[in-house]
Amino acid sequence: MKKLVVFDLDGTLAQSKSPVDAEMATLLKALLRIVKVAVISGGGWPQFKEQLLSSLPHDESLTRLSLMPTCGTKLYQYEAGWKERYSEDFTREQKTKIICSLKQVIERSNFDSHKHWGEVIEDRGSQITFSALGQNAPLGKKTQWDPDFAKRKSMKTLLDDLIPEFSVRLGGTTSIDVTRPGIDKAYGIRKLRDTLGVAIGDMIFIGDAIFPGGNDYPAQQAGAQSIGVRDPDETKRVIEAILACLSAPQTTSTERTS
């Protein structure tokens, strides 16, 4: 029996930059009644509040929920309110180098000619995120921009040469996340192991970008049993299966041999 179910946020629990829907909120509430849950995302804390917490009931079940913005470089847990347990931010010099490199690659790739909805480069403290069409772009526009990841893979190649001392990952539908070296969802999984005392072998990770270069792939590399999903609708079916398994009466070895 697994002791912790870990989710990605964007594209897994909710459509990009959108709140989880009523069905997902109900399933998460049911899951929190019987097992610990964590969410790791490249998004910042405000995104967690808007996309996830606004749809969940504020009750004692939240004490079984751990939230890790910016790939686990921040941790929030519930104790009569949400408390930030730690935050591992960039230095000013690191931020300057990353932002300048992103601007250079955007110009070389000719991606600054698109219409933007909100910030294209966002400083999240412990992570710098590029969003090709802006943070608030309509979902339809975002899903059409880079459906095969080719544009962002090209950008990642350029960024890997410019800032090799940092980790560059593809995230969401139009974004690229830059973190300190070694900071990815594998780091978040290990932090959950250390803070919650749950062995990685006792975790399940669910995400929509579990492929080489995807920002969910490091969770699998860390050793967590991983389930890839296409979208939130498929995640719902996975949660239903987990609920069925966790709720089923457990047969003892004596009962199996009798």
3-state helix, strand, coil in the chain (%, to 5): 45, 20, 35
How far apart, in whole angstroms, are the C-alpha atoms of residue 99 and residue 125? 12
Q: Is 208 annotated to bind ligand?
A: yes
How far apart, in whole angstroms, are the C-alpha atoms of residue 3 and residue 238? 16
Annotated active-site residue 161? The verdict is no
**In the numeric block, which tokens belong to residue 237?**
């079916």
* Annotated active-site residue in 10, 146, 184, 216: 10
Annotated active-site residue 10? The verdict is yes
Phi, psi dihedral angles at 173 (to 5 degrees) = -105, -25
Q: How many CB atoms lie within 10 A of CB 204?
A: 17
Closest alpha carbon to 203 in 215, 195, 212: 195
| Beta pairing class for 121-123 and 36-40 | unpaired
**In the numeric block, which tokens belong to residue 129?**
């995120």
Sheet holding 82-87, edge to edge: 82-87, 74-78, 65-68, 36-40, 4-7, 203-207, 225-228
Q: Is 175 annotated to bind ligand?
A: yes
**Which conformational region is residue 36 in: left (phi greater than 0), alpha (psi within -120 to 50 degrees), or beta?**
beta
Q: How many residues in the chain?
A: 258
Q: Is 256 annotated to bind ligand?
A: no
Q: How many CB atoms lie within 10 A of CB 216?
A: 28
Q: Is 124 annotated to bind ligand?
A: yes
Q: Is 160 annotated to bind ligand?
A: no
Sign, CA dihedral 19-73-98-181, equals negative
Task: Please give the annotated binding residues, written as ranges.
Answer: 8, 10, 124, 175, 177, 208
Q: Which residues are annotated as catalytic?
A: 8, 10
Q: Which residues contribute to the annotated binding site for Mg(2+)? A: 8, 10, 208
Annotated binding site for alpha-D-mannose 1-phosphate: 124, 175, 177
